[in-house]
Structure 1
Amino acid sequence: MDNLFLFIAVVSIPTAFVFAGIAVVNYIRKNKEKGKKSLKISGISLVVTIVAFIAFGVISDNKEPEKVEVSGPAKEVVDKVEKEPELTVEENATEEKEEDGSADPKSQIENIVSDKLKGKTNTDKERIVSVEKVSGENEPLYFVVTLNSSENLTTDMTKRTMWLDSKDILEPISKIENMGKIILHWQLPLTDTLGNVDDVRVMTINLEKKILDEINWENFDVANFAVISESYFEHPAFKK
C-alpha cells in the first residue's frame, strides 16, 4: 500500500507542472476558459501529491519490520541471546569475580603460591600439597596450607629458603578479606633409619591475623618466624 501512495505522488508531481504550464499558455492566448480548467487540474494534482506523500509517510512509520527466519547453528545462538536475562551491575561484578577466582579465598591462596613460588620446587615436585579451610561458615577464615619446599646446599640454607618463601606468600595472603589465621606446613623428602624416603613435615608456621597485620614486611627478619608464631615447629634434622 505504501508503494501505491509513493507511485501516485511521483506521477502527480509532473502532472501538476504540465497542466500549470498549459494554463499559462492558455492565459497568454487569452483563452481563459481552458486556462482555468488546466489550472484547476494542476491544483488537484498538487493536492493529490501532498496527500499521497503524507499517506506514504504515515504507513511507512507504522509498518512493522519484517522478521528474518534464521535456521541451523545461527538460530541456536539467536534463541540463546533472546532468552538470557540482562544482568545488573552487581551481578556482572559477582560473575567476573567468580570467573577469575577472586571471590574464593582458597583460589586466591593457590594463585598467590603459584605466582610467588612457581608451580614446582627445584626437585620438580608440585609446590602445593593441599589448601584446607578449617573455619566455619560465618567465622574468620582459617586455612591450613601444606607445601613442598625447595632444597638447598645445607640444612641451614634450606631452612632459610622456607622462611623466605613463607614471607613472600604470607604478606599477600594476610590481605585476603576476612582472613583470621593461617598455618603453613612445609614438607621435604627425608630418609629414615631403614633407608626409606618419604615426604615429611619439617616446619610449621602458625600465625593469626592480628600478628600478620603488625609485621613490617619490608624490614622483617625471617628468622623471627620462630619467635612470633603461635606454635612453631622445626624437624630435628634442622638442629643437627
Structure 2
Amino acid sequence: MANIALLISLVAFVIFVIYFIRAVIGKMKKVEGASAFFKRSLISFAIFLVSVVVFGMTTEPPAKTTTAEPRKEKVEKVEEDKQKKESAEDVKKKEDKAANTQQKESKANEVKKEETPKKTETEQKEKTVDQIVKAIIYDEVGKKTNMGEKRIIELQVNDNMGTDDTNDKIVIAKLYADDALSNDSMRKKILMNSKDLFETLFKRKEISEVVLMWQFSLVDAYGKESVDTILKVGLDRETADKINWKNFDYNNFELVATQYYTHPALLKE
C-alpha cells in the first residue's frame, strides 16, 4: 500500500508541475483556458498531498532493537558450559570405572595364570617343532594326496640321542604318496617331493636328522590290500649340509642318503 501511495504522489506532483507551468504561460500570453490549467494543477497538488499523507500513515516504523537476543545467547552459553562440565565429569567417571574394571581383570588373570600348571620348556619346544614340521609338510606337498588321502599318516619329532646337543631333533614322517600312471613316475614324484622337504626341513637348526617313509596301498599275491612303505629315504645334518639343493639330482638319493629303501613293487615296470 505504501508503495502505491508513493507512486501516485510522484505522478500527481509531475502533473501538478506541468499544469502549473502551462497555466502561468497561458496567463502571461493571455490565452483562453489558462484558468482551467490552474484548476487542474491545484487538483493534482491536492492528490499529491493526500498521497504523501497516505504514504506516511502506511509506512511501518523501523523495528526497535531489544536486549532479548543477547540475553538469550547468554543463557544458552551458560547452559552449554554447564553441559560441558557435566559431560567432562561423566567422562572422568567412566574412565575411572574402566580403569578399576581393567585392574580387577588384570588381577584375575594373574591369579588364573598362577593356578594354571606351567608346561616345561622342553614340552613347549617339542610342540613348537612338531607344529613347524607339520606346516612345512603341508606347504611343500599338501594336506592331501592327488587321490584325496590324508598326507600325514604318522609324524614323530623326538630328541636325537645320537648327538651331543640336547636340542637336536630327529623327524620321522610316514607320508601317503601320490598315485601316478606308472611305478617309475611314482618313484620320481616321491624323490622330487623328498628333495623339497629335506631342503626346507634342514633350514631349521634344531633338526639334525629326517627320515621320510612314503607309503601306498599295495595288493599281495593273495589279493589282500594293505598300506606299506614303498620308498624310504633318510638324511642326517652332516650329509644335508654337503648337498647343493639347487643343482642336486633327486635320483642320487640312493647314493648319498644315510637310509634308502625301495619296495620291489615300485621297481616293477
Give how far 1:164 is off: 0.5
Q: Residue 166 of structure 1 is aligned with which of 162, 187, 194?
A: 194
Q: In the alignment, residue 251 of structure 2 is paired with which amino acid?
A: A
- What is the distance in 1 between the residues matched to 2:136 and 2:241? 18
State whether structure 2 residue 224 is matched by structure 1 residue 196.
yes
- What is the distance in 2 between the residues matched to 1:81 and 1:144? 43
State whether structure 2 residue 214 is matched by structure 1 residue 186.
yes
Aligned to 1:23: none
State whether structure 2 residue 231 is matched by structure 1 residue 209.
no
- Higher helix fraction: Structure 1 or Structure 2? 2
CA contact 1:105–1:176 (8 Å) conserved in 2? no
CA contact 1:184–1:204 (8 Å) conserved in 2? yes
Give how far 1:133 is off: 2.3
Give how far 1:108 is off: 1.1
Q: Residue 138 of structure 2 is aligned with which of 107, 114, 124?
A: 114
- What is the distance in 2 between the residues matched to 1:136 and 1:163? 24
Aligned to 1:134: 158
CA contact 2:160–2:208 (8 Å) conserved in 1? no
Classify the secondary structure of the residue corresponding to 2:154.
Answer: strand
Q: Residue 80 of structure 1 is aligned with which of 84, 105, 111?
A: 105
Please report the RMSD computed on the Cα atoms of aligned residues, expressed in angstroms.
2.8
How does the TM-score come out when normalised to structure 2? 0.53
- For these two proteins, the number of residue pairs brought into alignment is 159
Following superposition of structure 1 onto structure 2, how do residues 1-240 of structure 1 map, counting pairs within 5 Å?
68-69=96-97, 75=101, 79-81=104-106, 104-135=128-159, 138=166, 140-240=168-268
- What is the distance in 1 between the residues matched to 2:104 and 2:147? 52
Give how far 1:82 is off: 5.4
- What is the distance in 2 between the residues matched to 1:136 and 1:83? 41
Unpaired runs of 5+ in structure 2? 1-91, 111-123
How does the TM-score come out when normalised to structure 1? 0.59
Change beyond 3 A, Cα 1:102–1:168: farther
Change beyond 3 A, Cα 1:136–1:228: closer
- What is the distance in 1 between the residues matched to 2:175 and 2:167? 24
Runs of 4+ deviating beyond 4 Å: 65-70, 82-85
- What is the distance in 2 between the residues matched to 1:232 and 1:103? 28
Classify the secondary structure of the residue corresponding to 2:188.
Answer: helix
The percentage of counterpart residues that share the same residue type is 23
**Further displaced range: 139-148 or 109-118:** 139-148
